[in-house]
Amino acid sequence: MRKLLYKEMKLSANPLSYWFIAFSAMTMLPRYPILVGSFFICLGIFHTYQQIREYDDITYTVMLPVKKQNVVTAKYLFVLFIEFTAFILCILLTVIRMKVLGNAAPYVTNQLMNANAAYLGYVMIVFATFNSIFLAGFFKTAYKIGKPFIIFCAVGFIIITVAEMLHHIPALESLNKPSNLSIPQVAIFTIGIIVFMLCTWLSYRRAVKYFEEIDL
């Protein structure tokens, strides 16, 4: 498995998947829908799967002395590596924004989403959506990437829109505090982590099932 993952990271991966991790820096932008950064990170992963399709990487990989399940596992681990790296950067930048810049005027007067625990929870929900819709959808055919990605885009932007609307509800204003934690923020963060873990695991199980049934 280690060698198969190494192949994914060195040979199969499109460099844009690594470069797009830098969109985590959108966490620091004031007066901007910063959750869009998580979409761009997923877009970077999409470029790898586009390359996988164009280079017929799936056929090459299954010809190696490995189980078909291991092929799916390695590709999921690569995606998780990108997502976790981006998420860790988002956490670090969120801490800086809350503890060091939380009282800065551009953030205090920001009407769009501020970087806090709720924002991190939303990031995980976007990643969970990508894993559930796009990854599982890809392994249903091991070739088609357009339809599952378009569906992810539609659902992803609905999530971003809803997340931007929630903190405008009077009872949920604390979701947008720029420098202090609140119970609603912690609730969204916890929900995001649980949704990510559950959706990714179920997506992986579906992807394995789909891939085992494909006659390559």
| DSSP structure string for 47-67 | HHHHHHHHTTHHHHHHTSSS-
Average pLDDT estimate for 70-81 = 95
CA distance 205 to 34: 31
Average pLDDT, the chain: 92
Positive or negative, the CA dihedral 190, 149, 87, 26 is negative
Average pLDDT estimate for 159-164 = 96
pLDDT band at 62 (very low <50, low <70, confident <90, very high): confident
Closest Cα to residue 21, out of 7, 33, 37, 9?
37
Average pLDDT estimate for 43-69 = 89
Q: Are 40 and 24 in contact (CB under 8 A)?
A: no
pTM here is: 0.95
Output the pLDDT for position 194: 98
pLDDT over 70, % of the chain: 99
**In the predicted model, is pLDDT for residue 152 greater than 80?**
yes
Coil, strand or helix at 73: helix
